[in-house]
Each structure stands twice: as structure tokens, then as C-alpha cells.
Structure 1
Amino acid sequence: MDLATLWFVAIAVLWTGYFFLEGFDFGVGMLLPVLGRTDAERTTVISTIGGVWDANEVWLIVAGGATFAAFPLWYATMFSGFYVALLIILVALILRGVAFEFRGRREDRRWRANWERAIVAGSLVPAVLWGIAFADIVRGVPIDARHEYAGGPGDLVSWYSVLGGLATLTLFLLHGALFLRLRTFGEVRVRARQAARWIGPATVLVVAGFLAWTQVHRGGVVTVVTAAVAVAALIGAWALNRIGPAGAAFTLTGLAIVAATATLFIGLYPDVLPSTINPAYSLTVHNASSTHYTLTIMTWAAVIVLPIVLAYQAWTYWVFARRIGVAQRPPQRRPTPKRPAAARSGHR
């Protein structure tokens, strides 16, 4: 395997990790008003991802950085064509991160409700747009002979891309519901299990339809297997949610995300961004990559740094592995205002 192909695989792995980890974050955020009926319950729902959501987003940063360094032409052309969609995603992620931090700053009901809406919107928008974006990458976009994007915003919207957005939306909702069932107890856990029962069938249908369409468009022998694994894992997750342990069901939705993402990247290879104008204008693993020297330096850096990053994130999840619920949360106390120095002196 040459270094360009190796880094294409590495980027696929990074996106897979991002969708697996950030997928349940998005699901938890979207399900916040559904599963949290009281302020204490909504605080519990948010607390399940409070210690890990920002670390999960590191996978997105690393995936973007790796794409920029290993495939600069792919990065430049993709960001030129997807600029509006990526800007919307960025704003949504920023709003979501701010909402997590600001929601608990006041006891005011309206203040908390507004930031909770921001969490929902900041989770919903990326969950849909990432599916649309990756569907467009697999389907192809208008790229001219200079490898520049030659279309407009309307060229990024098709029935296939919309189905891709619905696929990631439902998949992340199911993943998040099962994560909440795994991480909570009490009424929130009961509602999470019920939500997964309702979301499961829709997820299976939408994801199966999207992967079948992908198979017709850019599929092969290997993608038949990965797509079948994804659908079978979703069916298994839905069944286990009804009769089995939460951990096994959550693991299967994670397997579905891994298999579905693998289907997209395997179907895409050796292209990284196909051209709908002329296949000869497509960006491929080799004509869009950096020099061999650059890829060599990146490879050594990844070998040294990646194990440290993975070990740190594994430790983080181990620290926050305990189930939580409303009954566990201590009552929140307002900070006692400090007395002026003069008043303290007089008291003495």
C-alpha cells in the first residue's frame, strides 16, 4: 500500500471515529427535550456527555487537518464547493458548545430553555448536513478541468443527498437513545429505551435505502458486505433494545456506523471527489495528494502521537463510565455572595 492510499484509509478511520463518538453526542442533544421532562432530567441527559463531547470533536479537527496536509487539492476543492454547508455546520457546533457551557450559568427558566434549544439545533443541523455532504462526495460534484468546483449551492441538493441526511439523522438518534439507556437509570432510561423502539424501524429503512442506492451508484463486491453488515447490525440493535442488554445494542449501532462509513469510503476509492462533468476531471487519491516526503513525515508523526491521544481518550471514557440519574445529582446551591472587606473588619 502506497502512502497516499494509506492516508486515505487513515482519514476514513478518523471520520468513522468521529461519527461513532459524535454520533451519540448529536443523538443525545436532539433527544434532550423528548427524554428530559424536568430541569433535573435535562441536566442529567446533558451530563451523560458533559465530560466527553469536546474530546469527541477532536476527531473532526484531526480529520480536517489530515485532509489538508495529505490531500490539499481535495481539501481546497471540497471547501470551495461546500463552503456554505460547512460554515453552517461550524456555526452550529460553536453554538452547541457555547450552550453546554452557558446553560447552567443562571437559574432563570427562560435562560436555560433558550440554551437547551441551542443544544437541540446545534446537534440537529450537523447530524443532517454531514449526511448530505458525504452523499455529495460519493455521488460527485461539478469539477472542471482545473479541478475547481464549477457548480452552485443547488448542485449539492439531490434526492440521494437528502436521503443521506435522513440516514445520518436517524442513525445518530438511535445511537444517542441507546447511549442514554446505557448511561442513565430511572425515568430517563425508560424513555430512552422507548425512543429507541420507535426510532429503530425508521433507521433501518432509511439507512438500508441509502446504502442500496449507494451500491447501485458506486458499489462493488466489498461494499455489498459492508452495507449488509450495517443493516444487519441495526436490526440487531433494535431487537436487543427490546429483549437484551443496553451495552450490546449500543455496540451494534456503533458497528452499523463503522460499516456504513466504510461502505462510503470503499465505494469512493480511488476517487476522493468525483466530477459529474467529466470523470477525467475527478480528484483521485494520487492526483490530489501531497508529496511523498510530506506523507512520510505525517506518517511518523501519527505513529508517535496517535497512541497517546487514543490512550487519553480511553482514560476519559473510563473516568466518566458510571451511570447517572436524577437521584444521584446533589442539589445545586447558589454561591454565597462575599461580604465587603469593610463589613468584615467592622464585624470583628
Structure 2
Amino acid sequence: MEMTLLSVVWFFLIFVLIAGYFILDGFDLGAGVLYPFLAKNDHDKSVVRRSIGPVWDGNEVWLLTAGGALFAAFAPAYATTFSGFYLAIMLVLFGLIVRAVSVEFRGHDPQWGKIWDGCFFVGSLLPALLFGVAVGNIYAGIPMDAAGNYSGVPLLGLITPFTLLCGLLGLAMFMAAGASWLALKAPKPSDMQAKAARLRLPLQIIALVLFFAVSVYGHFIIQPDMAPVLEIARWIFAVLFVAGIVVSLVLAKKKDCDLGAFLSQSVSAGCLVFLLAASMFPNLVVASADSIGPSITLMSAASSELALGWMLGITCVGLPLVLVYHVILYRTFRGRVKDDDLSHY
């Protein structure tokens, strides 16, 4: 099957949805990972939960939509990744469910407060780490049989030095976004806001170091079959990623620039996802060197032109509505968290 315009459009649209999730749910996962380190009393814990409470469920819509779009547009890639990473995906879903429950129950069940605090932390840490590990496997290559099914060792077979580096990079980006978000939303002046603002610097530097480590490892050791036509795009997104982190660091040192620092961090996160897209194209799932089956590509996995066309039409209607929803949501809950906002949390 040949590559068509609609299949290319849907390849990048799926990465747009992934970028939306990485940016939006990234900061509230990061806030959850930082929760036990920044929030030392019940008031601070309530502030963290309230900062993400009104938005976390809307942020997760991007993940569900990306999964649904992958299933409809490139069903073989969906089947291979979701069945091959079954245990990892179950852990991610377990984490997301536990996190959601803990956010809602913690403020109303103080007797089990420490249990819910632990669930909130674990439920944020698991997805934040495992998402990057999964992406590292898809990029580096996984063993597949002739039918395209994953043929490696479940879960443990997915952990390699490269995929672990990718997982740590994702975790560092989530934590940096979480620190930037809490510095933006926590009451100012307050000890927690000051600690979150200070924590941005080391986390963003760690993210930069891990980015260079992943880039060098991927280029000189993994050496995927990249499309030469997107070489310039890869360099652009790599430079923008670094620039976004640097700008965030500069703005964070200025007074009352927490919003700018957070937005720059978010731009950097989006560029990281688009760098992955430019590096993967036209592969959806790369076959490892010991794989029997070939890589899953746009040409081998795309749905019919009719299906892709209908999906694009629905997206042109639905995506703007989702964006309008987010604009209204974030505008409604803009500003720093106040004590009057903490009654539910």
C-alpha cells in the first residue's frame, strides 16, 4: 500500500494529540510526583490537589482521544503496542485510576489521609515514568513475529538502558512542568511556592542532560531508519526544545514571570513530542534487529481513505470544541489558589 496524504495527516495529528496530553496532563502528573516533597502539611497538600483538581480529568481526554485515533487510523499499530505493552498499560491505567480516586477522596476522608497521599504519589509516578519507557521501545524497536505481534518478554523485556533513559527524560519533563505549575498556582508568598520555584532550575537542567544523553544514545547506538526529508524538522524541534527550557529558566529568575516560565516549559514539552514524530516518520512501530516481522509503517497500517476522510471531518469539528472547552476551563480557574478554594480538597 502506498503512502497517502490522509495517512500522513493522521500520523501527525496523532502526535498533536499526544503533545496535548504531554503538555496538559504532564504538569498535573508532575505535581503529583512532587506532592510529598513540596507539601509538608495539610494546607499545602490541599493547595496541590486544588491546583489540578478542576483540570486533570479534562487533560486526560487527550490521551483517550489519541488512543482512539490510533485504533481507527492505524489499527495494526494499535494492536501491536497495546497487546505487547499490556502489563505496562495496566500499570499506567492503575496509576491513573488510583490518582483520580485519591484526589477526590483525600479531602473528605482524613482518617485515611496518609493512604490517599501515597496513592496520589504512586498514581502520578507510574504513568510519568512508564510513558517514556513505552515511547523508547517504539522508537528503538521491539521484537515482532510475522503477524506483527510482540514476541518479547512481557514488561521486563521492555526495560533497556535506552528505554530507561527515555522514561527518566519523560519523568524529568513532567516534574519540571509540575514545579512550574505549582510555582504559578500556589499562594504567593508561601514556602511551597518558593520551593516549587527553586526546584524548576535543577529539574530543567536534569531534563536537558537526559535529552542530550537520549539523543546521543539514539543517534550513535540505536540508529533508527529516519526519513531524510525531515532532517531539518528534527533539528528545528531539537533547537526549540532546548530554547524553550532556556527561556523558561531565564523567565523564572524574573519577578512575576511564573506564567511565562510555565508556558515556555510547555512549548519545550510539545517540541519534544514533535521531534519524536519527525524521527519516527513514516514508522509507527519499529521492528528490532531480532524481529521476524517488519516495522509497522503508514503504508502497512493505514485504514481506508474513506475512514481517514470521515475521521478528519469529525476532528475538524471536535478538536476546536475541545480547545474552546480548555480555554473556558483554564480561564475560569485562573489565578493562584486561595484558602476559600480548598473546601472540597
Q: TM-score under structure 2 normalisation?
A: 0.90
Match of 1:11 in 2: 14
Match of 1:130 in 2: 131
Match of 1:158 in 2: 160
| Aligned equivalents of 2:175, 2:126: Cα separation in 1 | 13
Please tell me the residue identity of whatever aligns with 1:182. L
| Aligned equivalents of 2:216, 2:252: Cα separation in 1 | 25
Q: 1:66 to 1:264 in 2, by over 3 A?
A: same
Post-superposition offset of 1:293: 1.3
2:244 corresponds to 1:233? yes
Please tell me the residue identity of whatever aligns with 1:305. G
Q: How does 1:171-320 map to 2 (within 5 A)?
A: 171-185=173-187, 186-187=189-190, 188-216=192-220, 217-218=223-224, 220-243=231-254, 245-276=257-288, 277=290, 281-320=294-333
Match of 2:170 in 1: 168
Post-superposition offset of 1:191: 1.3
Match of 1:44 in 2: 47
| Aligned equivalents of 1:4, 1:279: Cα separation in 2 | 25
Asked which structure has the greater RCO (Cα within 8 Å, sep 6+), the reply is 2
- Total equivalences in the alignment: 329
Secondary structure, counterpart of 2:284 in structure 1: strand
Match of 2:110 in 1: 107
Do 1:24 and 1:175's aligned partners in 2 also have CA atoms closer than 8 Å?
Answer: yes
Please tell me the residue identity of whatever aligns with 1:159. P
Do 2:144 and 2:292's aligned partners in 1 also have CA atoms closer than 8 Å?
Answer: no
Do 2:141 and 2:285's aligned partners in 1 also have CA atoms closer than 8 Å?
Answer: yes
| Aligned equivalents of 1:226, 1:306: Cα separation in 2 | 23
Secondary structure, counterpart of 1:115 in structure 2: helix
Do 1:223 and 1:266's aligned partners in 2 also have CA atoms closer than 8 Å?
Answer: yes
| Aligned equivalents of 2:306, 2:40: Cα separation in 1 | 56
Q: 1:297 to 1:189 in 2, by over 3 A?
A: same
Deviation by residue 1:75-123 (Cα, 9 ceiling, x = unmatched): 0011111111111101110011111111112233xx1121011111111
71, 76, 101: which one aligns with 1:68: 71
Match of 2:147 in 1: 146
Secondary structure, counterpart of 1:243 in structure 2: coil
Secondary structure, counterpart of 1:272 in structure 2: strand
| Aligned equivalents of 1:157, 1:89: Cα separation in 2 | 15
Post-superposition offset of 1:279: 8.9
| Aligned equivalents of 2:245, 2:215: Cα separation in 1 | 13
Post-superposition offset of 1:282: 0.8
Q: 1:23 to 1:310 in 2, by over 3 A?
A: same
| Aligned equivalents of 1:180, 1:174: Cα separation in 2 | 10
Please tell me the residue identity of whatever aligns with 2:203. I
Runs of 4+ in structure 1 deviating by more than 4 angstroms, as ranges, are: 330-333
| Mean Cα deviation higher: 63-72 or 138-147 | 138-147
Q: TM-score under structure 1 normalisation?
A: 0.90
Please tell me the residue identity of whatever aligns with 2:86. Y
| Aligned equivalents of 1:16, 1:273: Cα separation in 2 | 18
Do 2:76 and 2:301's aligned partners in 1 also have CA atoms closer than 8 Å?
Answer: yes
| Aligned equivalents of 1:280, 1:2: Cα separation in 2 | 26
Gaps of 5+ in 2: none
- Measured on the aligned residues, the alpha-carbon RMSD in Å equals 1.8
Deviation by residue 1:137-159 (Cα, 9 ceiling, x = unmatched): 11110122222212113331111
Do 1:197 and 1:242's aligned partners in 2 also have CA atoms closer than 8 Å?
Answer: no
Q: 1:251 to 1:122 in 2, by over 3 A?
A: same
Bigger CA radius of gyration: 1
Do 1:171 and 1:207's aligned partners in 2 also have CA atoms closer than 8 Å?
Answer: no
Please tell me the residue identity of whatever aligns with 1:175. A
Please tell me the residue identity of whatever aligns with 1:114. I
Post-superposition offset of 1:330: 6.8
Do 1:211 and 1:227's aligned partners in 2 also have CA atoms closer than 8 Å?
Answer: no
Please tell me the residue identity of whatever aligns with 1:37. K
| Aligned equivalents of 1:231, 1:280: Cα separation in 2 | 36
Deviation by residue 1:300-334 (Cα, 9 ceiling, x = unmatched): 11112221121112111110112114xx337859x
